[in-house]
Every structure is written in structure tokens, then in C-alpha cells.
Structure 1
């Protein structure tokens, strides 16, 4: 698959690394040779120092034969313009990163398609959705709902209170049990488990279940004592914070602490009193946090542009008794450190945006793709075609590649967990987890 990425910034370089794992033909364009030279020599891609809004340069990159053109420069107008040109020159699909929330309105989708922009990516909105998913369940590190909750994936840190530790999974998660453990992150190791694997203390375990059994999962992992989030304190009032607060449930009481007084004035214009109280101050000031009720706060969300500040602020909030913390960590080098410090939910906008774009490179009927950053694994929702190989045999006889597991499926709107005897049917939505496996191998099973 031929993919052109315009913009060797955070999202573009991360996406290039992600896509290069699958042996795609990738060209990364940027008009700065310095940014291109900073890329690792081990990446399997070509670079082109040129402007993405130059027709000549786009032709030099071979845009007329490209399957996907992705514009992720910091300039929204430049992204839109380059996508329009790329589509006109023959690109099959185009994706533009935007900064304007108004452009995401569903009624504008067809309008942008007529301009040549197949899809829009607004990272702040995607990050806000992940933040709120983490806040709705204080005992969960990560939650992903499939088909409105017909299936639910929960990433949970296991503590001493868990009753399912040190037992082979075949004894605690059989065909008749209402959950499957589909991935385990243990230290720096990622495990796609089989029946003989065991859950250990401090594992980050990914469970696949259905909505009605979420309370059961909460019980067996020993998280019933975690209080639900009602009071939320947000440090940093940038675009991600605004989008998160605007989409938080109404029952949550939110305070935003922002150090810039002019930004505070703007936040008061963007948000009404019911959505949030805006406080001008430094979110690292313990006296201020105490005065504003940190002791009665169930969740602390650090969304400044500085990863170190966010990590330290979350550690401080934990020391002051806040159980649920969320940190925006844009520096990938700090992600594993934040995880080792037990920060909680980690938000990385470029990883979220890259996952959203990732699905467009797949030929099979794929509804959703996520890259589980903490576990270094992919999870995708595949829909098999009529006569696809995956529909011809029970799952146990399919000979799935090592590092792949099928977590569950949705059939006629109902979530079903997959066992070895399950027969997948054409039209099912199947959740596939894989680690260190070329996604194209999985595609061949579903086409």
C-alpha cells in the first residue's frame, strides 16, 4: 500500500513508525530537512524534502498512485489544501488534521468530501473521548465500547485485592465465563495469553466482556471499594480540556485550574458555570489545591503542554488522596515512565490520532482500530466477507498466528465472547487482538 504522509511533526513521525511495521510503501514529506534528518535510520520509509502544497512536489512523491494521503502539519489550512490537491491528482483517500471543532459536524462531512478531503482528524476531540471514558469508571485505566457497549474492553491494573491472581486462565476464564483476558502488560513485556498463562500482581490486564458483566469484573479484580468520580479537577485549560469538559457527564462537578489569566477569561467565554468553574492559579500549588478541595476530589486530570508537569502534578494529587489521575503525556519517551510511576490513564494525542488513521490503510471491512500504547498491541474490529476463511471452521481450527487472539463478536446487535468452538459468520463484527503481527495477515482471514 502506498502512503504519503505530509508533516514530519509529532503525529506524522509516530504514524510513520506505526505504519512502517507493516511493510507499506511510505513517503514522509516535509519542507524542513532538519526534521526529516531526526528520524531514526531504522525506519523503513522514504523522505522527501518538499512542500505538500506544491503540485510538482506531490507528483514527485507519486501522489497519483497513492492509496492514502495524510496531511498532519500544524497548519490546518495547509492540510486541507494539500488533501484537495492530492485527491485531484489521483490519491484514493485523503486525511487532514484540523484544529477547528466546527468542521467535525456530521452535516459537513459530504461537503468536505466534495473538496477532496475524505476524512478529518481532530486529535483534541479524540483525546477528550478517551479522558471521559477513563473518568466514568474510576477503577479502569482504559475503556473501549464496541457497538454502543455490546462488547466492552477494560484495561485494569491488578492489585492485592484481586481474587483472580496466580491461577491459570483456563481455570478462571473458560468458555462459560463472562469475560476473556485478551492481553496482559507485565513490566516491559506484552503477552497475548493462552489458557496456561496466569495473572500476576501489578499486571495491566485487558478484559473483553459485555456491559451487563462490568460489575462482575469489578468484583473479581477487587475494585468495589473505588468510589465513582463526581468531583473533577483539571489542570490546564487548552483545547483538549475544553473538549473534555464540554462532553463530561452532567453529574460531574469540574474545576479548571489555568495559570494564564487571559486564557481564564477565554475559558469563561467558552464554558458556562454548569460546565466548569475556572480558577486562575498554578495547579502544582499544594496550598491552592487544598483550598479548592483536592481532599474531596475523586479525579485529577493534568492537561498542560508539559509532560513532566503533568506527571508530577498527578503524583502530587495521588499523595493528597486522589485515586483517579489522568495525565496527557505527548513525549513518547515518558509514556513508559508514567506507567511505571502508576500515574493511571495516560493520554497521548498523537497515538490516538494515529490509531484513528491506521484503520484507513486496511483493505478489509474494518470499523475500528486502536493501538494499545501501554501494551504495544493492536486491537481491530473486523467484519468478515461471505466465504472468508475465518468463517469456514471453528476458531480452534483456524490456525491463528502466534500473538493473535479473537476476543469477542457482535451478531445482530448482541455481544458474544469467542471460544474455541465458536463459528464466526459473515457480517459479524469480530474483535481481534494482536502483538508483533502484521495486520495484513489478519486481513487475509477476513477477506
Structure 2
């Protein structure tokens, strides 16, 4: 597949990293020579120093033979213009990053299709969805629903109360048990576990289960004492915070702390009257106490500074808040945030790149999520009639190393799989991939 990425900034660079793992034919266009030099040095791709809206540069990049054109520069106007031009010059599919939430409304999609923009990415909305999912279950680091919740993947930090530590997985997660452990993050290592592996204290474990058994999972991992989130405090009033507040469930009460008085005025105009906006510094412990931090179940730090967000979450934890969420846009700080036990880490650039990455898989893929904390993908594959994965039970198929199947949805019913499971064409199959050539995975389903 030939892919052109316009914009060698955070999203484009991270996307190049994801794609370079699969040896895709990638061309990166940007007018910043320093950005291109850094990316070209680290990843296997071709770079062109030029404006992404240059007709000459697009033709030089071979846009007429391009399968996917992705515009992720900081300029919304440049992205939309570049996509329209790329489409007119022959690109099969185009994707544009935007900054205006109006553009992602369903009624706007036909307009953009007419001018040659196939897909719109609004990173702040994608990040807000991740944040809300995290707040709905205070004891879970990450949640991912398959087919409207027919299957659910839960990322959970294991503490002393966990009842299934230090036991071989074959004893606690067999064919008859209502969950599978599909991945483990231990210190800085990712493990795709086998039957002899065990769960250890402070592991971040990823469980695949069905919605009915979420309470059971909560019990065995010792998280029953965690209270549901009703009061939320958000530090930082940027666009991600606005999207999160506007999509927050009605039963949650939210306060937004913002340092800039002018931005506070804007927020008061954007929010309903029941949303409280406070002018102050979210790191000020006296302010936090005054605003009820001791009665708050979740603290969300969404300023533009990763260090500030990490420190604020640590402060909130010391003051008794169980659920903390930190926006960490600097990739260099992600591992540090995880090791400090911050809680849920949100990186809207990685989320956006993962969303675009979904479009690049050749198989019939309905959804894909890149799990930054374990450097792995979890995806919904739909096998076609006669594909290799449907010919034999799973135990008799040579599955690539680094791939594991978490479960499947048949009709509307979610089910876990065992070695004896026979996958059928049309099933929605949840596949976990770590350090594996995606082409080998795709061939199983095509």
C-alpha cells in the first residue's frame, strides 16, 4: 500500500512509526527540513521538503497512485485543501485532521465527500471519548468495547487485593472461565502470555470478557472497594476538556479549573449553567481542598504541559483521589507516567494516529486501537468466506508469534475462544498483536 503523509509533526511522525513496523511504502511531505531530517533518520520512509498544498510536490510524490493520503499538519485549512487536491490528482482515499467540532457532525460528511475528503479526524473528540470511557469505570485503566459491548477488553492495574496473582494462567483462565488475559505490561516489558505465565503484583493486565462478567472480573482483581465516579475535577480548559465536559454522562458533576481568566469567560459561555468553571491553578492544594477534592472521585489533568499534568495527578492521588487521568502529549514522558502509577494516560496524537492506522489494514477490519502502554494493537477482524482462519479449529492453525485471539462476536453474541473454537466467515474476531507483521495476520482473514 502506498501512503502519503502531509505533516511531519506529532501525529504524522507517530503514524510513520506505526506504519514503518509493517514496511509500508510511505512518503512524508513537509516544508520543515528539520522535522523531515529527524523522522527520516529514525524511520524507513521517503521525505519531500515542500508545502503539502504544492501541486508539483504532490505529483512528485506520485499522488495519482496513492492508496491513502493523510493530511495532519497543524493547519486545518492546509489539511482540507491538500486532501481536495490529492483526491483530484488521483488519490484513492483521503483523511484530514481538523480543529473544528462542527466538521465532524454527520450532516457535514456529505459536503466533505463532495470536495474529496473521505474521512475527518478531530483528535480532541477521540481523546474525550477515551477519557469518558475511563471515568465510567473508576477501577479500570482502559476499556475497549467490541460491537457495542458484546465483548469488552479491560486494562487493570493489579494490586495487593487481587485474588489471582502468582497462579499459572492455565489454572485461572481456562476454556471454561469467563475471561482471557490477552496481554501483560510488567515494568517496561510487554508479555503475550501463555498457560504457564502468571500475573504479578503491579502488572497492568488486559482482560477480554463479556459485559455480564465485568462484576466478576472486578471481584477477582480486588477492585470492589472502588466507588463509582460522580464528582469530576478537570484541570485545564482546552478543547479536549470542552469535548469531555460536553459528552460527560448526566450523573457526573464536573468542575473545570483554568488559570487564564479570559479562557474562563469563554468556557462559561460554552458550558451549561450547571458546569462550574474556577479561575485558579489546579496544582494549588489549598484551592483543591476548598473546591472539594476530598469528595472528588476523579481528577483529570488536561493542560498542554505533560509535567504539570503528571505532578497534578500525583498531588490528587496523595489527597485521596482514586481515579486520575493525565494528558501526556510528550511521548518521552509516557513510560515515566506509567511507572509513577499516574492512572489513565491520554495522548490525543497517538489516539488520532491509531484511528487513521485502522484504515491501512487490507483485511476487513471494523475497528482497531493502538494500546500505547503496551505498544500493541487490538483489532476487530472479519474473516471472509474460505479464509485460512475459518478452515480449522484455532489450535490447528499456525498463528504468528505475537498474535493472540481474545474472543469473537457471532450475530449479536460475544464469546471467548479456546483451541477448539471454529471461527466462521462473518464473525467479528478480536485479535491482539504485539511485534508481529500485520500482513501475516491479514492473510489469515482474507
Give the aligned partner of residue 338 of structure 1.
337
Q: Distance in 2 between matches of 1:79 and 1:243?
A: 22
Give the aligned partner of residue 306 of structure 2.
307
Give the aligned partner of residue 422 of structure 1.
421
Q: Distance in 2 between matches of 1:375 and 1:181?
A: 14
Give the aligned partner of residue 286 of structure 2.
287
Q: Distance in 2 between matches of 1:86 and 1:40?
A: 23
Deviation at 1:37, TM superposition (A): 1.7
Deviation at 1:277, TM superposition (A): 0.5
* Partner SS, residue 402 of structure 1: coil
Give the aligned partner of residue 227 of structure 1.
227
Instruction: Please give the residue correspondences for 1:11-410 in structure 2 after superposition, counting only pairs within 5 Å.
Output: 11-39=11-39, 41-274=41-274, 276-410=275-409
String of CA shifts for 1:171-201, please: whole Å, max 9, x gaps.
0011111100000001111011111111010
The number of aligned residues is: 446
Q: Distance in 1 between matches of 2:290 and 2:40?
A: 47
Deviation at 1:112, TM superposition (A): 1.1
Deviation at 1:40, TM superposition (A): 5.7
Q: Distance in 1 between matches of 2:72 and 2:437?
A: 24
- CA-atom RMSD, angstroms? 0.7
* Partner SS, residue 143 of structure 2: strand
String of CA shifts for 1:26-45, please: whole Å, max 9, x gaps.
11110111221222623101
Deviation at 1:334, TM superposition (A): 0.1
String of CA shifts for 1:303-357, please: whole Å, max 9, x gaps.
0000000000000000111010000000000000000000000000111001100
**1:97 and 1:393, CA in 2 relative to 1: closer, same or farther beyond 3 A?**
same
Q: Is the 8 A contact 2:393 2:420 kept in 1?
A: yes
* Partner SS, residue 83 of structure 1: helix
Q: Distance in 2 between matches of 1:39 and 1:108?
A: 34
Q: Is the 8 A contact 2:40 2:47 kept in 1?
A: no
TM-score, with structure 1 as normaliser: 0.99
Q: Distance in 1 between matches of 2:263 and 2:36?
A: 34
Deviation at 1:111, TM superposition (A): 2.1
Q: Distance in 2 between matches of 1:64 and 1:301?
A: 44
- Unpaired segments ≥5 residues, structure 1: none
Q: Distance in 2 between matches of 1:159 and 1:33?
A: 47
> Greater CA deviation, 356-365 or 334-343?
356-365
* Partner SS, residue 113 of structure 1: helix
Instruction: Please give the residue correspondences for 1:431-442 in structure 2 after superposition, counting only pairs within 5 Å.
Output: 431-442=430-441
Q: Distance in 2 between matches of 1:110 and 1:406?
A: 37
String of CA shifts for 1:77-96, please: whole Å, max 9, x gaps.
11000000001111111100
Deviation at 1:143, TM superposition (A): 0.3
> Greater CA deviation, 403-412 or 31-40?
31-40
Q: Is the 8 A contact 2:7 2:73 kept in 1?
A: yes
Q: Distance in 2 between matches of 1:287 and 1:38?
A: 43
Q: Distance in 1 between matches of 2:114 and 2:444?
A: 34
Q: Distance in 2 between matches of 1:155 and 1:301?
A: 18
* Partner SS, residue 183 of structure 1: strand
Q: Is the 8 A contact 2:71 2:82 kept in 1?
A: yes
Deviation at 1:398, TM superposition (A): 0.7
Q: Is the 8 A contact 2:40 2:46 kept in 1?
A: no
* Partner SS, residue 314 of structure 1: helix
Deviation at 1:399, TM superposition (A): 1.0
TM-score, with structure 2 as normaliser: 0.99
Moved over 2 A (4+): none
- Unpaired segments ≥5 residues, structure 2: none
Q: Distance in 2 between matches of 1:41 and 1:150?
A: 43
String of CA shifts for 1:351-406, please: whole Å, max 9, x gaps.
10011000111111101111110011111100000111000000111110111100
String of CA shifts for 1:396-424, please: whole Å, max 9, x gaps.
11110111100010111110101111000
